[in-house]
Structure 1
C-alpha cells in the first residue's frame, strides 16, 4: 500500500512538471527573455524540486522531473520558427552559442533551484517522519547549491546601466541614461548620452539586422558626446528589445521604419528640436534611408557609415570575390565551403551568412583598422558583441546573441529586393556618406554608383583612406570634427 501511495505521489509530481513545462512554453515560447521571466523560471524550478523531493523521498527525482518539464516544453513549442529554438546546429560556433543562450540558459535557471528544492523537500519529509538527518556532506551540498542559486538570482536581478558622461574636470555632467520607450506598442530600450543636453540630437541606427550596439556604440563614439546628444535604441528584436521580435510576422521592414519614426519624434519632442540628425551603420543605413524617405521633416541631415545599397547584389559580388580568392590562393577548404553554401541569396539563414562573414578577412587583408579605433576598443574592455557592457543585464547579454541570430533570420529575406539605385534616387535632406577606402568592393562599388545617381539638397562623399566598413567608429575623431565644424553648422539652422 505504501508503495502504491509513493507511485501516485511520483506520478503527480511528474504530471505537475509536465504541466509546468507546457505552460511555460505557451507563455514563453522561446524561454525566459526578461529578468522577471528568469526569476519565474527559477521559482518554478524550486517549487518542482520541492514537490519531487517530497514525492520521491529522493533528490534524484530532479532527473525525471527535468525530463518531464523539458519534453512537454519542446512538444508545445514545436511550431516556434526561430533558429535558436527550431534549428539546433552544432557545426558552427554560432550554432553552439544559439544552443547555450536559449536552451542552455533556460536549463540552468530551472535546474539549479530544482536541485535545491529537491534536497529541501527530502529534508522536510525526514524531519516530519522523525528520521535522522542524512550525512553531514548532504547538508554541505545543499548549502553550496543554495549559495549558487542565490548568486544566480543576484546576477539575474542586477540592473543594467550606462556609465556617466564626464566633463573636462572629471566630474559627471550632462545626461547618461538607459530608458524605455514604447514603439509600436512594445517596449524598447533607448540610450542617451551627452555632455550638454542642449546640443543637437543624433540618432544612431545599429547594423545587423539583429545587432545590438549599445555598449560598443557608447565606447567607440565617446568623442561625439561633446558635440551632440548621442541616442541609440535597440531595434525590434535586438538585445534589450529582443522580446519585441514576437510575433515574428509583425517584424517587418515597414514596422522597423515606423519604430524609427516614433523614436525620432520622441527625441525631437523631448529635447525641443525642430529636426534631429540620423546616422545609420550597415543595415542601419537601409533603415535610415527608408526612414528619411518617409519622414524627411524629422531630420536635419542623414549620415551613412558602411552604407548599403543592394544587399542581394553585394552578397553575390562578395561571394564571387571569395571564390576568386580561393582559386588564386589554392584555398581548397574555402572553395569547398562556398560550394556547399551555394550562391546568394543564401537559403541556410543565418548559418550560411555567418560562414561567409567569417571569410571576409581574406578580402580585407592587409587592411588594419585605424590606431584610434583599436585603442578605443581596447580601452573599453568590451568583446566583439559588446556583451560585457554594463548596458546589459544577464538576460540582455543572452538576448544580444539571440537577437543577432533570430532577428537576422526574420529580417534578411525582407531586404533582398531593396535597391537604392532604383528606389532612393532622391532624398529630401542633406546626405553625408562616410566612405571607407578599404571597404569591400562588393559594397563600395554600389555605394559610389548610387551616390552618382542621388539627388539631394546637398550631398557629400567623404572618403577616409584608413577605414573600411565601420567608418564612423573607425574614424570617430574625424567624424566628431566633421559634425562640429561642417555638418551641424551647415544644416542645424541654429
Structure 2
C-alpha cells in the first residue's frame, strides 16, 4: 500500500467505520441538540424572530447548533437530521399560539402562500440556512481532527466552492440584519438638511408597548397630521415615503405603525389585549404625544380604510383634540361591505365568463369567514377595483409589498411586513362584526371630510355616502377623486395634498 493510500485508509477507518451502536449514539446526540434548540425557540419566539436582535441571536444560535450537531454526528446525514428535528420540535413547541403564519399551511390561495413565505419561509432563512452552514463546518472540523488530512483533489476544491456560497449568504444575511433603519433628511436647495425641518423615526411607549412613528415635515412649526393606515395590519411608512412628499410641505406628517404592524410587529402579543377599543386608546395616546411634542392644541387626523374606523371612534370620543377628520376609503359597516363586495365580485365573474373565479367564490360562500385568509379572495380579487387610470403622480412603489422596501424598515421588518398584516388582521377584523357607524356614530364634533375614489367598490362607497348623509358635524364635505380607488392619498397624492391644505386653511379661518 502506498503512503497516500495508507493515510486515506487510516482516515476512513477512523471516521466512517463506526459500529451501529456508535452511529445511533451520535445521531441521538445530534438530534438532541437540534431538538433542544427547537424547544427553546418554540417557547421564546413562537412566531419566529421578529426584531433585529432576535434575528441576530437566532442566526448565531443556529450556526452554533448546526456546528455542534455536525461535530457530534460526524456524518453528512446530519444535514438532513438536525434541521428536520429542529423544525418538527419547533412546530410542536409553538402549538400554543395561533395565527395565519403558524397555523396549518394553505396553498389553495395566494394569501395562504403569502402567509407561508412571510412566516415559515422567513424562519427557514434565519434558522435553517445558518444551521446547515454550521453543520458543514462541524462535520468538516471533526473529520479533519479525526485523522490525517486527505490529499488535495479537484473535488475537494469543488466542495470548498460549494461551501463558500452558503457561507457568503450567511455573511450577507447578517450584514443585512445589522443595517439600521433611518429616514432621509429633508434637503434644502443647497442639498443640505433643511434648517427647522423634521425627519425622524421614534419609538414611543403607547399602551404599554413600544410603537414606531415616522415624523417628516419641511418645518417642525407646521400643523401636525396623523395618518392611520388601513388593514388591520397595514404599515404606511413606505407608502408615505413614496407618495407623501407633497404633504410634508405644509404639515408635520406623523405616520404611525400601529400595534402589531410594520415596525411595531413585535407588540402583537399578548393578542388578548389587542382589541379595537385598545387601538382607539392607542390612537388618542399617539395624538397626545404629538400634541405635547410639537406644542399643538389640536392635530389633523387622516384615516385610510381600517384607519377610518379607529380614527372615527377616536374623534367621537375626544373631538377637542382634532382640527378636522378626513376619512379616505371610509369604512362604515365592514361586514355588510364584505357581503356587498362578494356579491358584486361573483356577479362580475359570471358576467365576464370567468368560471374559475365564480366557482371559487361559490365554494367560499358569502362572508363572514372563520379563516381570515379567505377574505382577500372574496373582497380583493375583483380586477376592476384596481385596474384603472391612476393620477399622473401615482407611484406603484407605494403599493404592497413594494412599499416595504424603503430604508425606514430594517431587513427583518421588511421580511415580516406581510406576516404582520396577516396576523394583526386575524386578531382585529373579526371584532368588527357589530360595527355600524350609521347607528354608532351619528355625530362628530369636528369638521368631517370624506374622500372617495370614483373607482371605489360600491360596497364601500354606498355605505360611506349613507353615513355622510346621516352624520351631524360642524361642517362636512364629500369629495370624489376621479382617478382614485380605495386609497386616494396614494392614487392621487398631489391632489390629496392640495385638499389637505384647503382643510388646513378652512380650520385656520374658522379659528379666527
User: TM-score range, shorter-chain basis?
Assistant: over 0.9
Alpha-carbon distance in 1 for matches of 2:386, 2:145: 70
SS of residue matched to 1:368: coil
* Structure 1 residues 326 and 109: CA distance shift in structure 2, 3 A: closer
Of 447, 450, 467, the match for 1:433: 450
Of 59, 69, 80, the match for 1:63: 80
Of 136, 149, 155, the match for 2:176: 155
Of 352, 359, 376, the match for 2:381: 359
2:234 paired with 1:193: no
Q: Which residue of 2 aligns with 1:453?
A: 470
* Structure 1 residues 471 and 143: CA distance shift in structure 2, 3 A: closer
Shift of 1:486: 4.0
Of 44, 50, 54, the match for 2:71: 54
- After superposition, the C-alpha distances for 1:393-447 in whole angstroms (9 at most, x for unaligned) are 2210122100111111111111121111000111111111113233222111111
Shift of 1:326: 2.9
> Please, which moves more after superposition, 132-141 or 436-445?
132-141
Of 225, 231, 254, the match for 1:231: 254
How many residue pairs get matched? 488
Shift of 1:348: 3.0
TM-score for both structures, normalised by structure 1: 0.93
SS of residue matched to 1:84: coil
Alpha-carbon distance in 2 for matches of 1:383, 1:184: 27
Shift of 1:170: 4.2
Query: Matches of residues 7-26 of structure 1 in structure 2 within 5 Å?
Result: 7-26=24-43
Query: Matches of residues 171-250 of structure 1 in structure 2 within 5 Å?
Result: 171-173=192-194, 174-250=197-273
> Please, which moves more after superposition, 219-228 or 436-445?
436-445
> Please, which moves more after superposition, 82-91 or 119-128?
119-128
* Structure 1 residues 463 and 164: CA distance shift in structure 2, 3 A: same
Q: Which ranges of structure 2 fall in alignment gaps of 5 or more residues?
A: 1-16
2:270 paired with 1:267: no
Alpha-carbon distance in 2 for matches of 1:141, 1:321: 54
- After superposition, the C-alpha distances for 1:243-262 in whole angstroms (9 at most, x for unaligned) are 21112221110111111111
Q: Which residue of 1 aligns with 2:278?
A: 255
Q: Which residue of 1 aligns with 2:137?
A: 120
* Structure 1 residues 276 and 149: CA distance shift in structure 2, 3 A: same
Alignment check: 8 A CA contact 1:84 1:406 kept: yes
Shift of 1:264: 0.9
Shift of 1:57: 1.7
Alignment check: 8 A CA contact 2:287 2:299 kept: yes
* Structure 1 residues 123 and 439: CA distance shift in structure 2, 3 A: closer
SS of residue matched to 1:386: helix
Alpha-carbon distance in 2 for matches of 1:39, 1:77: 20
SS of residue matched to 2:101: helix
Alpha-carbon distance in 1 for matches of 2:386, 2:135: 55
Alpha-carbon distance in 2 for matches of 1:122, 1:359: 49
> Please, which moves more after superposition, 52-61 or 313-322?
52-61
Alpha-carbon distance in 1 for matches of 2:222, 2:202: 19
Q: Which residue of 1 aligns with 2:348?
A: 325
SS of residue matched to 1:172: coil
2:430 paired with 1:413: yes
Q: Which residue of 2 aligns with 1:476?
A: 493
Based on CA coordinates, which of the two structures has the bigger radius of gyration? 2
Alignment check: 8 A CA contact 1:369 1:466 kept: yes
State the superposition RMSD in angstroms: 2.2
Q: Which residue of 2 aligns with 1:145?
A: 166
Q: Which ranges of structure 1 fall in alignment gaps of 5 or more residues?
A: none
Alpha-carbon distance in 2 for matches of 1:342, 1:435: 28
Query: Matches of residues 286-301 of structure 1 in structure 2 within 5 Å?
Result: 286-301=309-324
Alpha-carbon distance in 2 for matches of 1:344, 1:116: 46
* Structure 1 residues 273 and 31: CA distance shift in structure 2, 3 A: same
